[in-house]
Structure 1
């Protein structure tokens, strides 16, 4: 039987207070509870620990040997629980072994990943990095839930959301032609662009989506 699943942590302050005051009456006054509520709590604790915990001696309560052995671990447990409400965990890059998840476009991986990895090796040698390709919707959900730590790329759909963002640089798209292609000019006219066949590499969350969206908005159709 797993006692921790059904154990009421609210009973522990009663245990400590009765121990420290040596009296049900004094413990009840200190905690603002009735004496009957203290007695009920002690009954549950005795059942859980399988020990009387306290013996009545005169007008006070004398702890058993088991209770004397429990008091410090119980105090420590209560202190740790209290600490979760009063302190913040401190991140230490030099000791962390967590995996950082980055949502990156293909361009982001080429430009930033080598620099990010070098920097992480210096500051967080035990950490690891995972790069994922995802749609804007998946990235948004990942950032909100913490499954994604950072998104690097062009994600205009996220700019209207409550995420911090920063421009890193601007870049342009270019067309690649095979060696010996009849079009030799350094620039393409629209008619030339539409007259040739196009090869497109598809992949969720990649930069080609930006260009495809632009063409669709302008009602420009190519031969792919």
Structure 2
């Protein structure tokens, strides 16, 4: 489903300035500036090994920044605290993991943490609506999470993130294990979700055509 930029909230959400990353003696990128406004769908473009995943993890403050400053909704990380920042700037790993129990148990579990309690809580209706958009029946919630395929784990990780309405969604090859039809369904769901509020996404994909389809603009990583 196409987005309608004129209807989106274009307020500035995330700003990063002067970022730098070295691995040993190798400079991956430096003096990197990035701004995300509501509705942005930013595609990261760079060769393999250029530090795309490291950039996403740095934005989520899962890896400590080597240089540079960040702000989310005009506030520095210290003003939010790390748990709240990571809840609002949500990173989806390419190879997500699940805990024991069912898919539903895995979706319910994060609501126990304090930084999640300000939301509306677990919503069966919301999750099953998303499942329908992804071509899955409600019975998916009863699957054993430890027996899911790689693609099913990616769907679980996506639902687990979306239910908390993060401000920025960092997507690291989110459809790498999915077939074409489900990939298209994921892209359509994300575009609708982004258009429903002041939200933005950053996408890494090995599929250049996916970047062209999904991203509203691109950023090329350079040393």
TM over 0.5: no
Q: Which has the higher strand share?
A: 2
* Greater relative CO, 1 or 2 (CA 8 Å, sep 6+): 2
When the two structures are superposed, what TM-score results if normalisation uses the length of structure 1?
0.23
Q: Which has the higher helix share?
A: 1
When the two structures are superposed, what TM-score results if normalisation uses the length of structure 2?
0.23
